[in-house]
Amino acid sequence: MILTRKAEDYLEAILNIVREKKYARVRDVSSVLGVKPSSAIEMLRKLDGKGLLVYRKYDGIVLTPKGEKVAQVIKERHDVIRDFLELINVPKSIAEMDACVMEHHLHPETVKQIGKMVNFIKSAPGYPEWLRHFEIFCETGRHVCRGK
Amino acid sequence: MILTRKAEDYLEAILNIVREKKYARVRDVSSVLGVKPSSAIEMLRKLDGKGLLVYRKYDGIVLTPKGEKVAQVIKERHDVIRDFLELINVPKSIAEMDACVMEHHLHPETVKQIGKMVNFIKSAPGYPEWLRHFEIFCETGRHVCRGK
DNA sequence: AACTAGAGTTAGGGACACCTAACTAGAAGG
DNA sequence: CCTTCTAGTTAGGTGTCCCTAACTCTAGTT
């Protein structure tokens, strides 16, 4: 199944909405994605055609198991990337935006390595210390520990 | 000046070609970007119209100072991102590809923080050690240093 | 100088994702 | 029951970026 970047955006958005409300409406989807309802409908029809969700006129939208699986994968990527960006002190709102972009285009291998790196740092014996050192480095350009 | 992702790709590709050859030809550009010559010409005309490069029929292509400045910025982003990905052991070819994608879409703040993080790690007192520990962590999921 | 191979160009068209404007369905109040 | 308001829908159109097919130009060979 080859999906465009935008198709993935729609699936992910719908997953998030459904998690809160049981089903999504055209309006929900279009407002989350910042497009007009007519644009959303066009995509919903395409995704319905691919069996990723069920869209019937004037009715709620739900993901099929297949669509949910795809959306889940994207959401996981998103979370990994956002965690990483927040870890290196990218402001939350920017981290969120950029994770949205990266989640679609990065090679799975890349996402995997980013995830490992986040785990490596977070689970390191001196974790909070590492963060503090990084912050100081960002401000001063110097390492506080062991010389220099 | 608002540029599309693709326009940026063209400028960056042309910068790389010009660095080697003084001027670029339609064929060079189209083959680097994996598009047909006719597609490249269409974009070249647009970029010429915006004053980012000089394109005259049947002639070589060069960047204007303005175009070169834009291309340079993109190339720097590209390099920062590629360095980071290689640092965390993403295979070189994938790092190159993914840097191409990320260079266009990431917020400058994000690129800045990635750059700082790369510097932080590379200039740390125990740099090669850090890399080795990360590699071991990737394979075993364990920290070798100080307990655990 | 004529020929020809390959580079460059133009015209015309398609997919994608978006829009506006105009129409329709359905729920909620009188 | 009828009106009305909002959500939903359809039709038609735009911009971007790509393509193929057919043409033209340029440079190198003879």
Asked if B101 lies within 8 A of A106 by C-beta distance, the reply is yes
Instruction: Specify whether the CB–CB gap between B114 and B102 falls below 8 A.
Output: no
What is the rounded CA–CA span in Å between residue B69 and residue B63? 9
Out of B97, B113, B124, closest to residue A143 by CB: B124
> Is B6 (CB) below 7 Å from strand D?
yes
Q: What is the 3-state secondary structure (H, E, C) of chain B?
A: CCCCHHHHHHHHHHHHHHHHHCCECHHHHHHHHCCCHHHHHHHHHHHHHCCCEEECCCCCEEECHHHHHHHHHHHHHHHHHHHHHHHCCCCHHHHHHHHHHHHHHCCHHHHHHHHHHHHHHHCCCCHHHHHHHHHHHHHHCCCCCCCC
DSSP label of A54: E
| Average pLDDT score over residue span A23-32 | 96
> How far, in Å, are A56, A93, B92 from residue B112 at the CA level?
46, 15, 21
Provide the 3-class DSSP secondary structure of residue A123.
coil
Distance from CA of B23 to the nearest CA of A (A): 31
CA geometry: angle B71, B76, B78, nearest 5 deg: 95
Distance from CA of B115 to the nearest CA of A (A): 10
Q: What is the pLDDT of residue B76?
A: 95
| Average pLDDT score over residue span A48-54 | 96
Alpha helix (H) residue ranges in chain A:
5-21, 26-33, 37-49, 65-87, 92-105, 108-122, 127-140
Nucleotides of chain C in contact with protein CB (under 7 A) are 7-12, 16-21, 25-26
| Average pLDDT score over residue span A46-53 | 96
The pLDDT-based confidence of A58 (bands split at 50, 70, 90) is very high
Q: What is the pLDDT of residue B143?
A: 87
Q: A-chain residues within 8 Å CB-CB of B116?
A: 88, 134, 137-138
Q: What is the pLDDT of residue A33?
A: 96
Out of A95, A101, A107, closest to residue B105 by CB: A101
Nucleotides of chain D in contact with protein CB (under 7 A) are 7-12, 16-21, 25-26
Instruction: Specify whether the CB–CB gap between B85 and B94 falls below 8 A.
Output: yes
| Average pLDDT score over residue span A34-55 | 97
What is the rounded CA–CA span in Å between residue A36 and residue B68? 37
Q: Which residue is nearest to nucleotide C17 (CA to C1')?
A: A39
Q: Count contacts between A and B (CB, < 8 Å).
A: 94
pLDDT at A147 over 70: no
Q: How many residues does chain A have?
A: 148
* Domains of chain B as residue ranges with CATH: 5-69 (1.10.10.10), 74-140 (1.10.60.10)
What is the rounded CA–CA span in Å between residue B68 and residue B52? 7
Distance from CA of A58 to the nearest CA of B (A): 36
Model pLDDT for residues A75-130, shown as the tens digit of each residue = 999 999 999 999 999 999 999 999 998 999 899 999 999 999 999 999 888 888 88
What is the rounded CA–CA span in Å between residue B84 and residue B50? 33
Distance B50 CA to C29 C1' (A): 58
Asked if A120 lies within 8 A of B107 by C-beta distance, the reply is no
| Average pLDDT score over residue span A26-53 | 97
Q: What is the pLDDT of residue A10?
A: 97
pLDDT in tens, chain B (148 residues): 889 999 999 999 999 999 999 999 999 999 999 999 999 999 999 999 999 999 999 999 999 999 999 999 999 999 999 999 999 999 999 999 999 999 999 999 999 999 999 999 999 888 888 889 999 999 898 888 754 3
